[in-house]
Structure 1
Amino acid sequence: MNDENALIREQAFIGGRWIGGQAWRDVVDPATADRIGRVPDLDDATIDASVDTAFAAFGRWRDTSAIERANRLMAWYEGMCRRREALARLMTYEQGKPLAEARGEVDYAASFLRWFAEEARRASGTTIPSEDPHVALGTVREPVGVAAIITPWNFPMAMITRKVAAALAAGCTTVVKPANETPFCALALAALAEEVDLNNGEFNVVTTTGKRFSERVCADTRVRALSFTGSTPVGRQLLRDSADTVKRVAMELGGNAPLIVCEDADLGTVVEAAVAAKFQTSGQDCVAANRLFVHRSIYEPFVERFSERMNAMAVGSGFDEANEIGPLIHADAVQKAQSLIEDARDKGARIIGRDQTDAPGAHFFMPTVVADFTDTMRVSTEESFAPVAPIRAFDDDDEVIAAANATEHGLASYLFTHADARIRKFMRSLEYGMVGVNTMDITGPHVPFGGIKQSGLGREGAHVGMDEYLETKYYCIGGVPPR
């Protein structure tokens, strides 16, 4: 650890003050299981106090001009850019992803601050033509209020800025609960926010258990919006918990992304794209390719070349620039990956890859192909969140579309073909919120990110990203006809 030490905060951030607690939780390096530090495990009263602070700040922040809100976000963006390397190293230390990916995430996270700084000035209302010339009709868009934000460990900075930047740009104040595994990334963002005067309750970071936080904020009528990224089962529970207070809810939930390779795809290009789509963030990505379907005419060559490329990937500490696969987040993730492989092997799949005894540590999992997977195997229905690549052959378009759609999830999907008519058919037929055609690079601040079915509600990013934090108020102004 070098410059990243300066960004580590072992306290929560509430109302511009750094807060300790009565109980504490250790944070560990997933590559070594060594202790990095600790953060407070805040109690109910302190969580309520964070909402008090955000609620008190809301009136001030709502009335701050859009230009001033934009200026604060831009200053925050510039601070992230200046500290890019330190933030990336902190992320690798805490989350484990290779440094190149961590640098990419810092850039990605900062881009949302810039995007919504620009969008802050575009929350426009409308004028409605009236049937009565003496009456004026229209709408204005107003911030919802306090927004509670719950974020995951796999993208510990970008998932915060994607939500918080939109909320702050809209005029909302925020209370963020980062994942227990990666609180220091969130607190580093708070340290940078403090430097640009986002320190009066606009942005608060609370470290506590997810259950305790969600129970407090879901029951609190002052919290008017809830944004969550995480698993579908937890998302369902949060929907139930938010029902009594009828909150504005946005959710980005689980994925089971299909990657479909048609017979006219260039094999060399598509193998590289498929490897990237599967193994970025060591497979711990909600838009990672979770099931690969390859046309039978090129199936065996694809499996061979994909496996060869996979086996050449270096596995180890994210601080070694040569490594492409880092650790999984904890031992449970490794055990789940192993159980998926064992289930598939028992049911007849071909398992291709290096021996797991070659893994460089207890939290590492060697990337593995599950060839010839079937619908009876757990890899077909469960999001692996690991470097596990199930692959199987298909014979015709209708067959693979049906197989790709045979899931409760509908976040991301990928298609590789050069036939225009086929592209149009698949784009309309795939039941996913996002379809990448001949590319796996489908995200960015300008993209309306989100899923359908049980993969979520609402969209994040793009011009629609602020919609989750704005209410539309209609007005009707009557007038006395002139004499």
Structure 2
Amino acid sequence: MNTPYDTLYLFIDGKWIGTEGRATATVVNPATESLIGQVPLATSGDLDRALEVAGQSFELWRRTVPAERASILKRAADLILQRASHIAAQMTLEEGKPIAEAMDEVTRAAEYFEWFAESARRIDGRVVPANRPGVLQIVTRQAIGPVAAFTPWNFPAITPARKLSAALAAGCSVILKPGEESPATALALARALDDAGLPKGVLQVVFGVPDEVSSQLIASPIIRKVTFTGSVPIGRLLSKRAAEGVKPITLELGGHGPVLVFDDADVERAAVEGVANRFRGTGQVCISSTRFLIQRGVYPQFVDHFVSAARALRVGNGLHPHTQVGPLANLRQLAKMEELVADAVAKGAQVLAGGESLPGPGFFFAPTVLANVPMDARVMHEEPFGPIAILRPFDELEDALSEANRLPYGLSAYAFTRSARTAMEVGERLEAGMIGINQYRIVATELPFGGLKDSGHGSEGGTEGIEHYLTNKFISQA
């Protein structure tokens, strides 16, 4: 496949603004290490203009009837699906994931626009009976205001789609700052919304030095809501900035997903599907299964199936149709994998598969399986966010739950058992916002997506997803 990379822009006030007169950041194809694009970085003046327009357009968009907002979002979803092959190829070029995964992500991004289009038509209120005669009491829900949305590079279609679709459906204007390493995918979503008839200025897309952009946007009195997907340290920083302006913030942060496999489970299925789940997106997935905790009686059997499946994975350029694991997104990620494995091995861990970077070009790291990892190894505490899986045996349920809940992360968790009693207990006691029992696929447009503890707060998707972009107003009329 020989796909050209799109020209990159800022999108402000309905205008596509190029690199002229602005600093730029390079976009690198992680499979080839070749420079494929230059993304323009917004100046302080650009951000001021984006804020001004977002404030002005909000007054128009909030008064647009829900049926019209829904119609525009549905047209955008149709356009995204029509352009799916092109958008997926852009994603693979800039982020590296296999083209089949990219196509699936684009399709699911379109589904979010379809889902929240319908949600726009269902924003309602209530009439509350008064305790005095001649009084009408009404509770209405209205758009909270202009939104600053920050998204990372690892899911450049679905993460912006979750935020944009819900915020726009609610009647909010949005300033979106995607990751500079995978900008073309987010711009393709903006192009679809623009072509679908979204009024000019309701959506702005900006790039820039993350700290500078976030500080200027969040500090502005125009912004009334912040939403962020990314790392825990940056989430804490943005929370402080939002708190200074008494602004609500939705956070979807990191994870270190445990998987509990009990003696009575379908062990082969838990292992083979666990490999697919762990190494999807080259492990750069916040809800990935990372720590596989296997009851001792089936531990050898699980290890055999898991290691065999991991070694069989085909690693390569994501544009090749047979590739199952692409490159890491950047050189930082590659260096981190090397450091985590070296640290674990130095402390006594056993490498059962992979464990090393692959010959270049490209940021490739072999799918890696570690066993006998000591508790003081970094990988037992830090989110790997790469193709590393950890296998550990356990004896009793309490041991598994203790390890699963040990870390401050609480995004995703999984368990495999044929016992209804065990399934109910782990579902109740696992400290995670999303739990899969006898399956790894836990994300759907109709379900909330979000975590507990250091993994953030608030949900995206499902009926809960639009709530964070609405505020309640009580009207008492005599």
TM-score by length of 1: 0.96
Alignment size in residue pairs: 476
CA RMSD, 1 decimal: 1.3
How many angstroms apart in 2 are the aligned matches of 1:122 and 1:242?
29
Q: How does 1:44-59 map to 2 (within 5 A)?
A: 44-59=44-59
Q: How does 1:242-391 map to 2 (within 5 A)?
A: 242-354=242-354, 356=356, 358-391=358-391
How many angstroms apart in 2 are the aligned matches of 1:406 and 1:235?
21
Indicate how the Cα distance of structure 1 residues 284 and 357 shifts in structure 2: closer, same or farther if over 3 A, else same. Answer: closer
Is contact 2:90-2:185 (8 Å) kept?
yes
How many angstroms apart in 1 are the aligned matches of 2:235 and 2:354?
36
Q: How does 1:111-150 map to 2 (within 5 A)?
A: 111-150=111-150
Residue 19 of structure 1 aligns with an amino acid whose one-letter code is I
Residue 272 of structure 2 aligns with an amino acid whose one-letter code is E
Q: Deviations over 1:287-336 (max 9, x none)?
A: 00121101111111211210111000010100111111100011111111
User: For residue 166 of structure 1, what is the aligned residue in structure 2?
Assistant: 166
The CA deviation at 1:356 is: 2.8
Residue 10 of structure 1 aligns with an amino acid whose one-letter code is L
Q: Secondary structure at the match of 2:31?
A: coil
Q: Which moved more, 1:97-106 or 1:124-133?
A: 124-133
Indicate how the Cα distance of structure 1 residues 4 and 471 shifts in structure 2: closer, same or farther if over 3 A, else same. Answer: farther
Q: Secondary structure at the match of 1:86?
A: helix
User: For residue 17 of structure 2, what is the aligned residue in structure 1?
Assistant: 19
Residue 434 of structure 1 aligns with an amino acid whose one-letter code is M
Residue 179 of structure 1 aligns with an amino acid whose one-letter code is G
Q: Deviations over 1:215-237 (max 9, x none)?
A: 10111011000100000000000
The CA deviation at 1:133 is: 3.2
Is contact 1:344-1:373 (8 Å) kept?
yes
How many angstroms apart in 1 are the aligned matches of 2:140 and 2:458?
21
Is contact 1:258-1:293 (8 Å) kept?
yes
Is contact 2:112-2:161 (8 Å) kept?
yes
Indicate how the Cα distance of structure 1 residues 199 and 209 shifts in structure 2: closer, same or farther if over 3 A, else same. Answer: farther
Indicate how the Cα distance of structure 1 residues 120 and 4 shifts in structure 2: closer, same or farther if over 3 A, else same. Answer: farther
Residue 364 of structure 2 aligns with an amino acid whose one-letter code is F
Is contact 1:4-1:86 (8 Å) kept?
no
Q: Secondary structure at the match of 1:198?
A: coil
The CA deviation at 1:19 is: 1.4
How many angstroms apart in 2 are the aligned matches of 1:342 and 1:476?
65
Residue 187 of structure 1 aligns with an amino acid whose one-letter code is L
Is contact 1:303-1:371 (8 Å) kept?
no
Residue 154 of structure 1 aligns with an amino acid whose one-letter code is N
Q: Secondary structure at the match of 2:466?
A: helix
Q: How does 1:74-85 map to 2 (within 5 A)?
A: 74-85=74-85
The CA deviation at 1:360 is: 4.9
How many angstroms apart in 2 are the aligned matches of 1:396 and 1:320?
44
How many angstroms apart in 1 are the aligned matches of 2:293 and 2:209?
39
Is contact 2:328-2:365 (8 Å) kept?
yes
The CA deviation at 1:451 is: 0.4
How many angstroms apart in 2 are the aligned matches of 1:241 and 1:469?
19
Is contact 2:354-2:369 (8 Å) kept?
no
1:474 aligns with 2:467: no
How many angstroms apart in 2 are the aligned matches of 1:426 and 1:246?
37
Q: Secondary structure at the match of 2:281?
A: helix
Q: Deviations over 1:251-285 (max 9, x none)?
A: 10111110111111112211122112211101000
How many angstroms apart in 2 are the aligned matches of 1:29 and 1:41?
19
Is contact 1:16-1:198 (8 Å) kept?
no
Q: How does 1:200-279 map to 2 (within 5 A)?
A: 200-279=200-279
Indicate how the Cα distance of structure 1 residues 3 and 24 shifts in structure 2: closer, same or farther if over 3 A, else same. Answer: same
Is contact 2:357-2:365 (8 Å) kept?
no
Residue 285 of structure 2 aligns with an amino acid whose one-letter code is D
User: For residue 103 of structure 2, what is the aligned residue in structure 1?
Assistant: 103
The CA deviation at 1:41 is: 1.2
Residue 133 of structure 1 aligns with an amino acid whose one-letter code is P
Is contact 1:448-1:462 (8 Å) kept?
yes
User: For residue 394 of structure 1, what is the aligned residue in structure 2?
Assistant: 394
The CA deviation at 1:241 is: 1.1
Q: Secondary structure at the match of 1:259?
A: strand
Q: Which moved more, 1:272-281 or 1:148-157?
A: 272-281
User: For residue 181 of structure 1, what is the aligned residue in structure 2?
Assistant: 181
The CA deviation at 1:362 is: 4.1
The CA deviation at 1:361 is: 3.4
How many angstroms apart in 2 are the aligned matches of 1:253 and 1:315?
27
Q: Secondary structure at the match of 2:409?
A: coil
How many angstroms apart in 2 are the aligned matches of 1:287 and 1:378?
19
Q: Secondary structure at the match of 1:239?
A: helix
Q: 2:8 aligns with which of 3, 7, 10?
A: 10
User: For residue 62 of structure 2, what is the aligned residue in structure 1?
Assistant: 62
Indicate how the Cα distance of structure 1 residues 229 and 355 shifts in structure 2: closer, same or farther if over 3 A, else same. Answer: closer
Indicate how the Cα distance of structure 1 residues 231 and 120 shifts in structure 2: closer, same or farther if over 3 A, else same. Answer: same
Q: Secondary structure at the match of 1:356?
A: coil
User: For residue 71 of structure 1, what is the aligned residue in structure 2?
Assistant: 71
The CA deviation at 1:9 is: 3.3
The CA deviation at 1:374 is: 3.0
Q: Secondary structure at the match of 1:167?
A: helix
Residue 9 of structure 1 aligns with an amino acid whose one-letter code is T
Q: Which moved more, 1:209-218 or 1:164-173?
A: 209-218
How many angstroms apart in 2 are the aligned matches of 1:373 and 1:476?
62
Q: Which moved more, 1:310-319 or 1:185-194?
A: 185-194
Residue 404 of structure 1 aligns with an amino acid whose one-letter code is A
The CA deviation at 1:194 is: 1.7
Indicate how the Cα distance of structure 1 residues 3 and 332 shifts in structure 2: closer, same or farther if over 3 A, else same. Answer: closer
The CA deviation at 1:244 is: 1.6
Q: Secondary structure at the match of 1:344?
A: helix
Q: Which moved more, 1:224-233 or 1:37-46?
A: 37-46
How many angstroms apart in 2 are the aligned matches of 1:69 and 1:10?
27
Residue 109 of structure 2 aligns with an amino acid whose one-letter code is A
1:460 aligns with 2:460: yes
In structure 1, stretches of 5+ residues that fail to align are: 479-483
User: For residue 481 of structure 1, what is the aligned residue in structure 2?
Assistant: none
Residue 231 of structure 1 aligns with an amino acid whose one-letter code is S
Is contact 1:255-1:410 (8 Å) kept?
yes
The CA deviation at 1:132 is: 1.8
The CA deviation at 1:380 is: 1.1
Is contact 1:9-1:187 (8 Å) kept?
no
User: For residue 417 of structure 2, what is the aligned residue in structure 1?
Assistant: 417
Q: Secondary structure at the match of 2:280?
A: helix
In structure 2, stretches of 5+ residues that fail to align are: none
Is contact 2:33-2:361 (8 Å) kept?
no
Indicate how the Cα distance of structure 1 residues 15 and 211 shifts in structure 2: closer, same or farther if over 3 A, else same. Answer: same
TM-score by length of 2: 0.97
1:403 aligns with 2:403: yes
Residue 230 of structure 1 aligns with an amino acid whose one-letter code is G
Q: Secondary structure at the match of 1:238?
A: helix
Residue 126 of structure 1 aligns with an amino acid whose one-letter code is R
